[in-house]
Amino acid sequence: MNNANIKLTECPRDAMQGLHNFVPTDVKAAYINLLLQVGFDTVDFGSFVSPKAIPQMRDTAEVLSKLDLSSTRSKLLAIIANYRGAEEACVFEEVFYLGYPFSISETFQRRNTNSSIADSFDTVKRVHELSLSKGKELLVYLSMGFGNPYGDEWNVDIVSQWTERLVDEGIKIIALSDTIGIATPEQISSVYIQLNQSFNKTEFGVHLHSTPTTWHEKVEAAYQSGCKRFDGALKGYGGCPMAKDELTGNIATENIIGYLAEQNALTGLNFDKLKEALDYSGRIFG
């Protein structure tokens, strides 16, 4: 396959958001500043959400003020869960992407953003209009993109129908999210290939969660299906605190990097800074 333009997103926000002990602002900023020097396409650095819902991210604006963007190629992504959060994020010129989690599971959408699927789709439309007016790019995470553990109906056609509605609204980037790590390689391949063929002007990525023993087959399935946009978190920390009581971690970024390197599909990363970031992560995650 054509290995050009592989994009890696590092997700310290996802890794940190479920931690019970608050990570000091200066420690967060120092860690993210290291990540900005590695050469990732995007760094998912924080979120503009209710501090009651995600107390770990209550200092996102302060963290942002401490970031050094003078010598990085990475773009900053902030997660938002409603229109108000989008308004807050749009105040900051440094934020390039707004990331909105849109679930095709009614149960999970209510758990994650306290709204129905219908209301959340209206939010997508409003946030997209705001993004365009403020010069931001809206990235929609299609949560529960590979299955549903809550008993809500799920199949590839439902995924495709909601994707079509998002594309019709002008959404250009969609990350298919395996929020709780239940996707099989066969599901990843079938969903990704169908969407990529049906909506060939849309950029699809994958945000996969996994146990430590199943990451390789999932990354391989996505890559071999043509995926060029991958999310990860160093050392595989994190998960969605709104999903289940037991967090299934992110896929470790260093594992994704290792796999892509074997495919000769990576360029431009600073491996010295990557090692520094891996070492520093111990100060955050113990």
Q: Residue 267: its pLDDT value, please? A: 78
Three-state SS at 50? coil
Over residues 261-272, the pLDDT tens digits come to: 999 998 789 999
CATH topology of domain 7-285: TIM Barrel (3.20.20)
**How far apart are the C-alpha atoms of 28 and 35, rounded to whole Å?**
11
Q: Residue 248: its pLDDT value, please? A: 63
Residues 13-31, buried b or exposed e (16+ Cβ, 10 A)?
Answer: bbbbbbbeeebeeeebbbb
Q: Which two tokens stand for residue 57?
A: 């991210």
| pTM score above 0.85 | yes
**How far apart are the C-alpha atoms of 258 and 266, rounded to whole Å?**
9
Domain ranges for the chain, please list them.
Answer: 7-285
Inform me whether the pLDDT recorded for 16 exceeds 90: yes
Over residues 86-145, the pLDDT tens digits come to: 999 999 999 999 999 998 877 767 776 777 888 889 999 999 999 999 999 999 999 877
Highest mean pLDDT pick, 82-91, 140-149, 231-240? 82-91
What's the rounded mean pLDDT across residues 154-176?
93
Cβ neighbours of residue 5 closer than 8 Å, sequence gap 6 or more: 228
Instruction: Give the residue ranges of DSSP H helices in the chain.
Output: 12-16, 25-36, 60-65, 83-90, 106-113, 117-134, 156-168, 185-198, 215-224, 253-262, 271-285
Q: Residue 219: its pLDDT value, please? A: 96
What's the rounded mean pLDDT across residues 25-42?
98
pLDDT-above-70 percentage for the chain: 94
